Amino acid sequence: MTAAQNEQEPDYDLIVIGAGPVGENVADYAVKRGIRVAVVESELVGGECSYWACMPSKALLRSGHALRAAERLGGARQAIAGRLDASAVLARRDAFASDWKDDGQVEWLSSAGIDLIRGHARLTGPRTVDVGGRTYTARAVAVATGSVPVLPDIPGLRDVGPWGTREATSASSVPSRLLVVGGGVAGTELATAWASLGSAVTLVARDGLLEREEPFAGELVAQALAQIGVDVRIGASPTRVDRDQAGVVTTALDDGTTVVSEEILIATGRRPHTLDLGVETVGLTPGDWLRVDDTMLVSGTDWLYAVGDVNGRALLTHQGKYQARAAGEVIAARLTGTPVAAEPWGAHAATADHAAVPHVIFTDPEVARAGLTEAQARAQGIPVRVVEYELGWVAGAKLHADGYQGRAKLVVDEDRQVIVGATFVGQDVAELLHSATVAIVGEVPLPRLWHAVPSYPTIGEVWLRLLEEYGRP
Ligand SMILES: Cc1cc2nc3c(=O)[nH]c(=O)nc-3n(C[C@H](O)[C@H](O)[C@H](O)COP(=O)(O)OP(=O)(O)OC[C@H]3O[C@@H](n4cnc5c(N)ncnc54)[C@H](O)[C@@H]3O)c2cc1C
C-alpha cells in the first residue's frame, strides 16, 4: 500500500488484535453497526477461555462435583458403585475444548462478515498494524490480546518444565502426584479438579487461600480440599525445584520441608499480553496493562482501545465480553458520527466494572461473589454494615445435600440502604449469583428488596434470612 492510498482509504474501519471471546465480541458488535472489521489471531480463534481456561477447567471439575453431590445425598449415595472414570472425564473435556480446533469459530466469524487475518499482530504506529510483514491500516484498533501466566523466579523452576494453566487444563493423563503452587482461583480450582481425578495433590499457598474473598470462603474451601485428600500448606513458598532422571520433581519449601511430585503447576498470577505487540511505537510501555476509560479507549489516544483481560479491569470472560459489547458499539458510533452514550450506566460505558463484577470460583463448595467484599467496601470509605447467615440452616439447602456446608454475606451501604456486595459459599450457589448482581446493579433499596420473595424451598431463601438478620429498615 502506498502512502497516498493509506491517507485515502484505510484497509478497515476497525482492526481487532486477538480473537478470544472478547475480541470476537468487539468485532461482532462493531460489524453489526455497519463498519468494516478484521480480527487478527496468532493461535486459535476462541482464545484462552475456549481451549485452555474456562471451558476445559469447568469440564474437568463438573463430574467430580456431581459425584460428590450424590455422595452427600442419602439414597443417591447408596447407588454409587465406583470412582470417577478419569479417561471419560478427559474425553468430555476434550469435546468441550473442541479438540483444540477452531473451525467452528472461524465459520462463525465468516458468517458474521468479519475478516480473519491469521498471524501475530504488532502495532507499528498510530492506526497501523503489521501482520507477518504486511501492513494494514485502520481508523481504529482494539487490542484484545488477553493475559498470560507469570512464572515466578524460583531457582530450577524453568528447567523442570512446570505446568501453567494451559498444561493443567489440557493434560491427557492424570499425574499420580501434583504440586500446585498458588492459592488463588486457578490454584484452588485446578487442585480440586486433579484431586477429583485421582492425583495426590499438594497445594502450597504463601498467603492463604482465596485471599481476595471474604475470609470464610478460603476457610471453607481449605476444609473441603482437605476432605478430598489435598495436602494444603499455607504460609509456605518454593525455594528450589529439581527434576531427576526418572522425571520426578522435588520442590524444597521455605518451611524446611520438600514435596515430591510428577508435575508442578504454577498458578501464581497473570500479566498482560502486551510484550511484542509494538505498543512502544504509540508511546506505551510493553508489559504494562493498557489503562482505559469506561468506553475502553486507551488513555491519551483517540483511536486505540483495549478490551478484556489486557486492560486489567476484571480478568473474567463475561466481564470482558460486557466491555466488548460497549466497545464494539462505541467504536462504530464514533466512526459513523452517531451519538455516544458514555455517561455512567450508558450503553457505551462499562460502568459495572467498578461496582458489580460477578464471579464464581468453581471449587467445591463454590464461591460466588458480586460486587465488593466487606474489606473492599471499607477501603472505599463506604459506611458499611454486614449480615451473614449459615446456608446449612436454609430448608432448600438441606434438600440439596445432607449436612449442607455454606455461608452467605451481604455488604450493605448504610447511607444509601443498598447492597454493594454479596458472597455465597456452598454447593450449587453459582446459579444464585445473578440475583445479587441484579440487586447491586439496580441499586434496589432494601425496603423494596423485602418484596422480592424467594421460592420455598430453594437455596435462594437465604435472601430472606439475610434481610431478617439485617432487620426491617
Ligand atoms: C484456568 C483458567 C480458568 C478460567 N476460568 C474462567 C471462568 O470459569 N469464567 C470466566 O469468566 N473466566 C475464566 N478465566 C478467565 C478467562 O479465561 C479470561 O478472562 C478470558 O479468556 C479473557 O478473554 P480475552 O479475549 O481478553 O483474552 P484471551 O482469551 O486470552 O484471548 C486473547 C487472544 O489474543 C491472541 N493474541 C495475543 N496476542 C496476539 C497478537 N499479538 N496477535 C494476534 N493475536 C494475539 C491470543 O492468541 C488469544 O487467542 C479463566 C482463566 C484461567 C487461566
Ligand 1 centre distance from Cα of residue 241 (Å): 28
The residue to which cell 458510533 is assigned? 333
29 is written with which cell numbers? 458488535
Candidates 369, 335, 167; CA nearest to 264 is 167
Classify domain 158-268 by CATH number.
3.50.50.60
Per-residue pLDDT tens for 284-309?
999 999 999 999 999 999 999 999 99
d(CA 461, CA 459) in angstroms, rounded, equals 5
CATH 3.50.50.60 segments of the chain? 3-51+97-149+271-352, 158-268
Q: What is the mean pLDDT of residues 431-442?
A: 98
Render 19-67 in DSSP notation, one character per residue: -SHHHHHHHHHHHTTT--EEEEESS-TTHHHHHHSHHHHHHHHHHHHHH
The residue type of 288 is D
Q: From ligand 1's centre to the CA of 3, what distance in Å?
A: 35
pLDDT given for residue 2 in this prediction: 45
Q: Are 230 and 222 in contact (CB under 8 A)?
A: no
| Cβ-contact 138, 160 below 8 angstroms | no
Give distance in angstroms: CA of 308 to centre of ligand 1: 8
Task: Name the band, by pLDDT with cuts 50, 70 and 90, for residue 1.
Answer: very low
Q: How confident is the model at residue 5 (pLDDT cuts 50, 70, 90)?
A: very low
- At a CB cut-off of 8 Å and minimum separation 6, what does 289 contact? 272, 274, 310, 311, 312
Atom of ligand 1 nearest to the CA of 318: 11
In contact, 406 and 392? CB cutoff 8 Å? yes
Residue bearing the CA closest to ligand 1, atom 5: 54
What is the side-by-side strand order in the sheet with 249-253? 238-243, 249-253, 258-261
- 317 Cα nearest atom in ligand 1: 11
pLDDT tens per residue, range 27-53: 999 999 999 999 999 999 999 999 999
* pLDDT in the model for residue 473: 73
Instruction: Give distance in angstroms: CA of 130 to centre of ligand 1.
Output: 22
Domain 3-51+97-149+271-352, architecture per CATH: 3-Layer(bba) Sandwich (3.50)
CATH topology of domain 365-470: Enolase-like; domain 1 (3.30.390)
Ligand 1 lining (C-beta closer than 6 Å): 17-23, 40-43, 47-49, 53-54, 57-58, 120-121, 144-146, 165, 169, 186, 273, 277, 308-309, 315-318, 320
Neighbouring residues of 51: CB distance < 8 A, sequence distance ≥ 6: 44, 97, 98, 100, 170
Between the CA of 316 and the centroid of ligand 1 the distance, in Å, is: 8
pTM as predicted = 0.96
Query: What are the φ and ψ backbone dihedral angles of 400, each rounded to 5 degrees?
Result: -70, -35
- Number of the ligand 1 atom closest to the C-alpha atom of 309: 26
CA distance 118 to 43: 8
Contact 389, 459 (CB under 8 A): no
Q: Residue 364 corresponds to which amino acid?
A: D
CA of 357 to the centre of ligand 1 (A): 17
Every domain of the chain with CATH number 3.30.390.30 lies at: 365-470
